[in-house]
Amino acid sequence: MIELSKVSKSFNSAVKAVDNIDLKVNNGEIFGFLGPNGAGKTTTIKMVTGILAPDNGSILIDGLDITKDPLKAKKQFGFVPDSPNMFLRLKGFEYLNFMSDIYDVPTKERKEKIEMLSNRFEMTKALGDQIQSYSHGMRQKIIIMGVLIHNPSVWIMDEPMTGLDPRAAFTLKEMMREHADKGNTVFFSTHVLDVAEKICDRVAVINKGKLLFCGKLGEMKAHFKVQGESLEKIFLDMTEHE
């Protein structure tokens, strides 16, 4: 579970990048965080994951405060950032073992997990190569695998579909569903409505730092009192720039 209460953040300008957001993401659901470029998605996610400190408000991960109890809170989640260009000098399997070490995954379990994940993401042959030789999509996949290896109860991703080929995107969506169905929390951002429409149980829409809607996508039409419009048109209207 992720709970944000009155969370704000501004950088050097007068405009807040994230403006007084309340949000609750439940166990067992896939939750999409939607909004156009510059809306405040990444800033919010960086606060949730403890990379940035909020100016105001509190954030709980499975009931643990990310500011007051960072180490315990961080153990609860796995995070896939928007750029997968990390650990470039490590070979695929070295990175996966490194992540297993950090999160205390027992030897037998990590072996099974690595085998399963590399099969599903078609990465078995690449594990012996350095990550810097990987394509963008492969880097994305190896980061996702490293995050899943410790079976986090909260799985957070920033624009995870970017750069994945259709097959990898399909596998990722399958895994998100499976993870949520086991009672875990899946929280991800996207600027693409189609992605959210296919897999999210609930979404929140953010624009200019403010939360405009939170609920089931099917409820969005009723919420904004429009009939006969496509969700896409509603989304574009509500996130319009002046």
Binding part of the chain for ligand ADP, among 32-40, 56-64, 85-93, 103-111 by CB under 6 A, reads: 32-40
160 binds ligand ADP (CB under 6 A): no
Binding part of the chain for ligand ADP, among 23-31, 37-45, 108-116, 124-132 by CB under 6 A, reads: 37-45
Please name which of 141, 138, 134, 93 lies closest in space to residue 114, comparing C-alpha atoms: 93
Which of ligand ADP, Mg ion, none interacts with 81 (beta carbon under 5 to 8 A by kind)? none
Please provide residue 165's backbone torsions phi and psi, each rounded to the nearest 5 degrees: -75, 165
Indicate the residue among 152 and 209 with the shorter CB distance to ligand ADP: 209
**Considering only residues 30, 43, 117, 188, which one is a binding residue for ligand ADP as defined by CB under 6 A?**
43
Over the range 150-176, which residues count as b (16 or more CB within 10 Å of their CB) and which as e?
bebbbbbbbbbbbbbeeebbebbbebb
Which of ligand ADP, Mg ion, none interacts with 78 (beta carbon under 5 to 8 A by kind)? none
Burial class of residue 241 (count of CB atoms within 10 Å of its CB; 0-12, 13-18, 19+): exposed
Minimum CB distance to ligand ADP, residue 84 (Å): 16
Indicate the residue among 79 and 95 with the shorter CB distance to Mg ion: 79
Dump the DSSP string for 106-175: -HHHHHHHHHHHHHHTT-GGGTTSBGGGS-HHHHHHHHHHHHHTT--SEEEEESTTTT--HHHHHHHHHH
Scan residues 1-30 and list those touching ligand ADP (CB under 6 A): 11, 17
Contact positions vs Mg ion (CB under 5 A) = 41-42
**Considering only residues 8, 20, 24, 38, which one is a binding residue for ligand ADP as defined by CB under 6 A?**
38
Indicate the residue among 37 and 227 with the shorter CB distance to ligand ADP: 37
Which of ligand ADP, Mg ion, none interacts with 170 (beta carbon under 5 to 8 A by kind)? none
99 touches 146 (CB < 8 A): yes
**Contacts with 57 (C-beta within 8 Å, 6 or more apart), sequence order:** 4, 5, 6, 7, 8, 20, 21
Interacting residues toward ligand ADP by CB under 6 A: 11, 17, 35, 37-43
